[in-house]
Amino acid sequence: MNKELNELLGEISRLQGEVEKRWEDMRQQFNYTIEGHKVRFEAEIKRLHARYKIRLIKYLISARPLSIITAPVIYSMVVPIVFLDLAITIYQHICFRAYGIARVERRDYIIIDRHQLSYLNIIEKFNCVYCGYGNGFMAYAQEIIARTEQYWCPIKHARRVRATHGHYKDFSDYGDAENYSKQLDELRKALADIDNKPDAP
């Protein structure tokens, strides 16, 4: 890896630290703390939040007809997501153990906490749980597939990829036949004790 790329990666790491600091500033600004998997607001803040809640009847009356018509289609997607969740979880527990790859922790990716906000009504809370699960699952699945790719084919593509996972930057350069075998061994070994925490704060 050349010097310029190393410097860029160092800058990315510095910026990630800055993002985490900004997240902490926001937590202080909105007066909440995180204890385990629970978000805690001060009682006065919760009372303030409750004043902003749109009551259920008003929410339903103001809903667009298109929202009501498409809701069953949107919610029905939970069926394939749950099936895929089960399948990919079984996959990693069998295959990752077999190949010595550190397993991905679901709880680090599937975060369901927005239903604790007092300014959301029951439908908004349900929607937030649904989206938190769906998007969290996709991130969880991507990490499992990314580790699989790092083990079996850690080579960058010749063409630019619009969205890449966090492991991609370490992959062997396309066409670098001389270093591929050595890098493959190193990348496989790295998967055994990989840090399981996702990059996002």
135-170 pLDDT, tens digit per residue, is 999 999 999 999 999 999 999 999 999 889 999 999
Residue 66, Cβ neighbours under 10 Å: how many?
Answer: 8
**Per-residue confidence band for 51, with pLDDT thresholds at 50, 70 and 90:** confident
Task: Return the closest-CA partner of residue 132 out of 109, 99, 152.
Answer: 109
Q: Is residue 116 part of a domain?
A: yes
Quick check: is 97 in a domain? Answer: yes
Looking up tokens 């860029």, which residue turns up? 8
pLDDT category of residue 200 using cuts at 50, 70 and 90: very low
Residue reference for tokens 């075998």:
181
Residue type, 16: Q
Flag whether 135 is in a domain.
Answer: yes
pLDDT category at 52 given cuts 50, 70, 90 is confident
Residue 141 belongs to a domain: yes
Cβ atoms of residues 168 and 150 within 8 Å: no
Q: How many domains does the chain have?
A: 1
Task: Name, in order, each residue with C-beta under 8 angstroms of 41's C-beta and a sequence gap of 6 or more.
Answer: 31, 32, 49, 118
Could you tell me if residue 9 is inside a domain?
Answer: no
Q: Is residue 72 part of a domain?
A: yes
**Lookup: tokens for 192:** 């055994």
Residues with Cβ < 8 Å from 110, sequence gap 6 or more?
A: 132, 133, 136, 137, 140
Show the domain range for 143: 52-193
Whether 33 maps to a domain, the answer reads no
Q: Which two tokens stand for residue 44?
A: 């006065």
**Is residue 2 in a domain?**
no
In terms of DSSP H, where are the helices of the chain? 3-29, 43-50, 56-62, 65-76, 78-99, 122-152, 177-190
